[in-house]
Structure 1
Amino acid sequence: MRHLRLLFLLILVFVGIKMCASNNCDTIPTQQLNEIIIKSNKPHIKDENGILVVNLTEIVKDKPVSNILEALGYMPGVTNNNGMIWLTGASNVTIIVNGELTNMPLQNLYQLLYTTPVDRLKNVEIMYSAPAKYHVNGAVINVVLNSPKPLDGLQGQLRTGYNQAHYCSYGGALSATYAIKDWTFDLNYGLSRTKSWGHEHTFSNHLLNGTYTMIEDDMHRIGNNWANTIYTSMGWKSLKLTYNGQIVSDSKIRSLYVGSLGRFNNNYNFESPINYHNIALRYETPIGMTVGGDYTYYNENREQFLSQNFTDLLNSTNSQIINRFHLYVDQEHLLKKWKLNYGVEYQRSIDHSLQVYQSVEMGKFKNTLNEDVVSVYVGTERSFDWGLSFNISSKGEFCHNNYQNNWSFIPQLGVTYHKNPKSIFQVNLSSQRIYPLYWELHGGTNYINNYIVSIGNTSLLPYVNYSTQFNYIFKQKYVATLYFQYDDKATVWLPYQSPNTQNLIYQTINMNYKRLVGINLHCPFNIGDVWNVTTTANFFNQREKASHFHDISFDNDKWIFYGKFNSSLKFSKNSPISLSVDFSYISPSLQGIANMSSMWKADAGAKWLFGRKLCCELDLKVDDIFNQWSPTMTINDKGQDYKMKVFDMTSNLKLTFIWRFNGFKPKDYSIDTSRFGTGK
């Protein structure tokens, strides 16, 4: 009976449809829906196999920044402190490009990032514990660039800028890319004229033979130079040849000290241009093997002239020539869903340095420092469908130089879990060995005046950093980072009042340790389509201990807060003009035995896009409007009584004009910390 009712119902429906069709049944009432608009925001942060991928171009699209160096400061957990890049929770961070390490000095890297346009970025990757296959220990920022394609033709960008601080500086840069068939070409060139100014006032209440003597100094410093920076690469299929270099010419530093001990002029002249050249070759084979190497040449020649009350005190010659060779072989296997990678790396550095004083015996040397570093690593990676991914690697490293041998075992671990993009959990464990500057290991002496001296340290040890971070990323935008950092035998460079002579000594020494524990919160939000705001709050405890800081000890501990507020405003969603206002603050902090005062600053800027297809851009920015981002350092412990107030001109007005041709999407290049240079 049930089946008969169902059959009868189907017959009625069929008959009704036929009747409606035969009578042109179009009288059914209709209703037009209103327009439906689906809104979505591009995610700022994604997880890809345990790596945090940051959409930096989206973050800074309305900011008055034109280069990658400035843009990095807007990334979650990253701080740009007067051009120095730091990653919260990491002792040191190395910047690489497209997964490749470029062995160039830090100042050269930053200059290159400054001349590289931000439009070239594809994305930026943050790895708190980079796998050993990157040949970098510890934290890494990997700048990933858009590669040129044959259909793009010649693309490029011209940029010119003017900076006004105490003195004016100016410069320009050209970036261009081209591809044809299997060939790719890349060029980035920058030329800048820089003139800097610094002002410090020091009070040294020096205890000698039971009597305190107040020695006061008022120092003004002026520096200027021309800098040429170039990066060029040529690729054919899996073979890539790159050159990067910097030539700094007409470089001079003038310092004037006026105080209790008289008037001192300390002048440094660079008798020849400072040369840095690096050439690298890399080949990726079809069987998963990568073979590469590079050669670095560095040369610096500096003359010092120190006078007191217009009477010559001493003349010195400082010279450094470094040849560094670097080779590596990497192999990767794909074993079903597992990745296995291993490799070997070798680096040899030959440092020919000399320091000669015409009238002083202390600190003279002329020798060669040889250093060999050999490392072997093995690692594995795996991602599971249920949301877990991890990478783990271990590296054994041996370092030998004229003064010491060091063995290191360097483990790296990164674990990420996310079932859906709404919540991402990440844990990182890493370690790295950080080596001192080559120049410091020679033990030379630099005289600032007849009271202040800087002394090298032949017994200076590399220190080992251990760090761990726990990241929680909510809705691919909000980030909370809980971190712990321990630097065993950490180094510090601070003044020390000698109890035996009337000298203030600067020397890099090893402490027992440096320890940080804290939490960093990053929170961006939008108000409509016109106002974007990002707040950052970093609370941490810092402790530094030394049992032997010269002939005294210290154990300094402090809670510190760092806060940052970034905002950008547009007049409408599609407005070509955007405004920005930023604030930063750091509470009183510490450095070794020294206490540092709080600092704050306010920045403001404007960005205007115009021309055909918005190919032109004009940026105006004022950094540190009220000139407050300079600290006061105080030491008052164990008989040390010293105070230094810094009055540097940190306020800076920047005006930048950019012209992009043929739809250019700009680019960047990167590196590790520098150990080069003839001064500390």
Structure 2
Amino acid sequence: MKRLVILSACLAISLAGWAQGNRNDSLKMDSIIHSLPDVMVKGNRPIVKVKGAALTYDLPQLIKNHPVDNAYEAIKQLPGVSEQDEALTLNAQSVTVMIDGKATTMTSEQLYSLLKTIPTSRIANAEVVYSAPARYQVKGQVINLLLKHNTGFHSLQGEFFGGYTHQNRNSYTERASLLFTNKKWEIDMLYSFGHGKRYYYYENEFAHTLTDGTSYAFSTHSDNIKRHLNHNIRLGINYHLAKNHQLSFAYTSQLNNTRGTSEDDGDFTSLLRIHAKSQFHNFRLDYSTPFGFSAGAEYTYYNSPDEQWLKSSLYDEIYDITSQQRIDKWHAYLKQEHDLGKDWGLNYGINYTTSRDKSSQENNNKSSDGNTIQNEDQMSFYVGASKSFGQKLTMEASLMEEYYHTPIWNEWNLFPTLSITYLPKAGHVIQFDLDCDRDYPTYWSVKNFTTYNVGGYGKIVGNPTLKPSRDLSLSLTYILHSRYVASLFFNNSKDEFRQLPYQSDEKKEMEYKHVNFDHVNQVGLMLTAPINIGNWWQNRLTFTGVYQNDKNSHFYDLPFDRSKWFCQAQWNGTFLFGKHVLLNLDASVHTDAIQGIIDIPASGYLNAALTWKPLKDDKFQLKAYCNDIFETGDNHLHDTYRGQHVINKMYFGRIIGLSLTYRFGGYKAKQHEEVDTSRFRK
């Protein structure tokens, strides 16, 4: 409480000082962002400029000759961004995606699903922020997608997309986007429908020894088929009351229906059937003014019932489980930004989020029956300031005080951020960033519920005592000629939570559970360089090297303190055949890595895509592609630490696809803000 009083006093003093000097000029105030010097790094085909703490990339130029047709694939073209376990990372760390400076409110899975439905033509550019100031209202690394706005004239524009993919089975995607604009209104609508099947298989090997000396050894082959029906709907309405004076409403919905079967054979047989349905609806209202004030509120409804039926010869038992999760979540914010003159800026604000999670599970063997209702509250206050010292040096700092309350946790936390940018001479940028963050587990992972896999041998259990992690990040970035980027970084995460397997020494079963580590430390270097050969061959090379230390002194009876050097190298190459045909080759390889007691062997992939754009302004595009051509990109997991023996090899197969895109009305589409359900059940 003392921290809150001190922070409130600082806010009051800052506001009083500002009011005395600027009492009659409030209507002329503009966002702090616009008051900072906008320094363009010059060079051959510049792609990045520096504005305060943000590195703004010309993303349309980055993807111009690449076969990407949605926002998700476009983001992966940013330096330092890669995809790991179907999640986006920046410099090997998690990253938050924002739209027009607004935080997302979706799970990663839902966010990426929606990004994949959004055309690339809706992107103006992208900001990369290694240490987000508090005015962003999120913490940690941020990628902020900025939109194209088409008000001021009457137009009706749109895009139609159809896609086919074959990954052992067939899947299809259809998408339609429309945008209507006039002097006052922007109305955009999006609908996409995904449907089809997917097949993949696992090879599992287990050796299990109990404390009484009894040993078991068995292996299985698991065939998995999933059928899915996915609907994505969005309606966005912007009304411009005056210049830089806007009222916005957005409705986003996702409806998913998945049925799956998993059949194990080998040393035992089993059959697992899963039926999972989920729906979420998000309503958001935002208001922004020309004098730096903005406010907003949103409501999210999420409901996910599912059924699991398992019959296994391993225990000669049938498991019949029904579970459900419903979440109601409210969020509201107020924020203000001021230009104080003499290159000083001030910003401050408040955020409040409250949620109610109602979850239940019924199990025929009564091992994990239960109903839970959990309320959660988060409130934060922040103040930040920026200063430009001539044309070469800028600095931005902020301080956020956050209150977090659940039935288990009741905490106050202070989060400072600092970003310093120095331009020693034309074409050179040096940026230092410091960030403190806190990451929270998903709602479902802290429930005392159980589901099963591997014929009942594997138990996926919740952990009600799981704690949020505390993160510290430092980075030093150097940019040369707006094209070559080097970033040195350090990340420390205390109480980091990861899901690990553990073979019990008392009975023949294996638990998968999220547990808190003592820490995860990383020191790394990222290098990226574009290399062009003539006008027909464009390349980008990216290298990331990381030293990682994972420590957990209380992991059952297997405490660990493990370290590993690993690296990842990526090559993106584009061959131009005239004005209408592009051939793209993307390759990536990573060395052995670790996650706690798990070893992740080296792997890599090669992707190829051929794109034909016969019409002016790229109104028509036909793309054929093949991902993971040699089927070498699948991840395998090995756990042979101190008597444990779990080998899991996953085989998803190459992907062959064909897509067609047609735009009309000079379509320059508008990017969308996502909805944060990052802690909802996956």
Deviation at 1:638, TM superposition (A): 2.1
Equivalence for 2:75 = 72
Equivalence for 2:193 = 191
What are the Cα deviations for residues 401-439 of structure 1, in whole angstroms up to 9, with x where unaligned? 122223221111111111544101111111211100101
Deviation at 1:188, TM superposition (A): 2.0
1:625 aligns with 2:625: no
Equivalence for 1:284 = 288
Q: Which amino acid aligns with 1:446?
A: T
Counterpart CA distance in 2 for 1:330 and 1:149 is: 25
Aligned CA distance change for structure 1 residues 292 and 673 (closer, same or farther; 3 Å): closer
Corresponding residue to 1:445 among 427, 450, 458? 450
Equivalence for 1:517 = 523
Counterpart CA distance in 2 for 1:376 and 1:400 is: 15
Counterpart CA distance in 2 for 1:180 and 1:248 is: 34
Corresponding residue to 1:568 among 546, 569, 574? 574
Which runs of structure 2 are paired with 1:173-572 in the superposition (5 Å)? 173-208=175-210, 209-237=212-240, 238-249=246-257, 251-260=258-267, 262-270=268-276, 273-309=277-313, 313-336=318-341, 337-358=343-364, 360-448=365-453, 449-572=455-578
Q: Which amino acid aligns with 1:521?
A: L
Equivalence for 2:12 = none
Q: Are the counterparts in 2 of residues 50 and 391 from structure 1 also a CA contact under 8 Å? A: yes
What are the Cα deviations for residues 181-235 of structure 1, in whole angstroms up to 9, with x where unaligned? 2111122221111422221111111011223211222212211211111222111
Equivalence for 1:22 = none
Counterpart CA distance in 2 for 1:408 and 1:622 is: 48
Counterpart CA distance in 1 for 2:618 and 2:146 is: 24
Corresponding residue to 1:133 among 128, 132, 135? 135
What are the Cα deviations for residues 73-111 of structure 1, in whole angstroms up to 9, with x where unaligned? 11111113464211005x321101111123122222111
Q: Which amino acid aligns with 2:528?
A: H
Deviation at 1:536, TM superposition (A): 0.6
Deviation at 1:46, TM superposition (A): 1.2
Equivalence for 1:57 = 60
Q: Are the counterparts in 2 of residues 70 and 83 from structure 1 also a CA contact under 8 Å? A: no
Greater Cα shift, 384-393 or 292-301: 384-393
After TM superposition, the score normalised by the length of structure 1 is 0.90
Q: Are the counterparts in 2 of residues 169 and 192 from structure 1 also a CA contact under 8 Å? A: yes
Q: Which amino acid aligns with 1:217?
A: T
Greater Cα shift, 529-538 or 328-337: 328-337
Equivalence for 1:27 = none
Counterpart CA distance in 2 for 1:154 and 1:81 is: 38
Counterpart CA distance in 2 for 1:598 and 1:290 is: 48
Q: Are the counterparts in 1 of residues 104 and 676 from structure 2 also a CA contact under 8 Å? A: no
Equivalence for 2:33 = none
Equivalence for 1:110 = 112
After TM superposition, the score normalised by the length of structure 2 is 0.90
Aligned CA distance change for structure 1 residues 515 and 671 (closer, same or farther; 3 Å): farther
How well do the aligned residues superpose, as a CA RMSD in angstroms? 1.8
Q: Are the counterparts in 2 of residues 158 and 174 from structure 1 also a CA contact under 8 Å? A: yes
Counterpart CA distance in 2 for 1:589 and 1:81 is: 12
Deviation at 1:672, TM superposition (A): 7.2
Aligned length: 632
Equivalence for 2:5 = none
Equivalence for 1:34 = none
What are the Cα deviations for residues 557-604 of structure 1, in whole angstroms up to 9, with x where unaligned? 1110100011001124xx211111111000011111111100011111
Aligned CA distance change for structure 1 residues 605 and 286 (closer, same or farther; 3 Å): closer
Aligned CA distance change for structure 1 residues 326 and 40 (closer, same or farther; 3 Å): closer
Deviation at 1:287, TM superposition (A): 4.1
What are the Cα deviations for residues 225-270 of structure 1, in whole angstroms up to 9, with x where unaligned? 1111122211112111111110113x1121112232x211111113
Q: Which has the larger radius of gyration?
A: 1
Greater Cα shift, 596-605 or 300-309: 300-309
Counterpart CA distance in 2 for 1:443 and 1:485 is: 31
Q: Which amino acid aligns with 2:49?
A: K
Determine helix, strand or coil for the equivalent of 1:112: helix
Q: Which amino acid aligns with 2:336?
A: Q
What are the Cα deviations for residues 431-483 of structure 1, in whole angstroms up to 9, with x where unaligned? 21110010121211112233110110000001011111111000000000101
Counterpart CA distance in 1 for 2:60 and 2:616 is: 21
Determine helix, strand or coil for the equivalent of 1:610: coil
Aligned CA distance change for structure 1 residues 671 and 324 (closer, same or farther; 3 Å): same
Q: Are the counterparts in 1 of residues 614 and 621 from structure 2 also a CA contact under 8 Å? A: yes
Deviation at 1:613, TM superposition (A): 4.8
Equivalence for 2:596 = 592
Q: Are the counterparts in 1 of residues 88 and 94 from structure 2 also a CA contact under 8 Å? A: no
Q: Are the counterparts in 1 of residues 493 and 520 from structure 2 also a CA contact under 8 Å? A: yes
Equivalence for 1:29 = none
What are the Cα deviations for residues 504-530 of structure 1, in whole angstroms up to 9, with x where unaligned? 110000010001101111010211111
Percent identity of the aligned residues?
30
Aligned CA distance change for structure 1 residues 630 and 121 (closer, same or farther; 3 Å): same
Q: Which amino acid aligns with 2:325?
A: Q
Counterpart CA distance in 1 for 2:125 and 2:172 is: 29
Q: Are the counterparts in 2 of residues 386 and 419 from structure 1 also a CA contact under 8 Å? A: no
Q: Which amino acid aligns with 1:248?
A: N
Q: Which amino acid aligns with 1:296?
A: T
Counterpart CA distance in 1 for 2:616 and 2:348 is: 50
Aligned CA distance change for structure 1 residues 537 and 343 (closer, same or farther; 3 Å): same
Counterpart CA distance in 1 for 2:594 and 2:288 is: 47
Counterpart CA distance in 1 for 2:189 and 2:496 is: 39
Counterpart CA distance in 2 for 1:626 and 1:280 is: 45
Q: Which amino acid aligns with 2:255?
A: I
Q: Which amino acid aligns with 2:311?
A: S
Which runs of structure 2 are paired with 1:639-658 in the superposition (5 Å)? 639-649=643-653, 651-658=654-661
Q: Which amino acid aligns with 1:347?
A: T
Instruction: Name structure 1 gaps, 5 residues minimum.
Output: 1-38
Aligned CA distance change for structure 1 residues 247 and 409 (closer, same or farther; 3 Å): same
Counterpart CA distance in 2 for 1:420 and 1:660 is: 43
1:88 aligns with 2:83: no
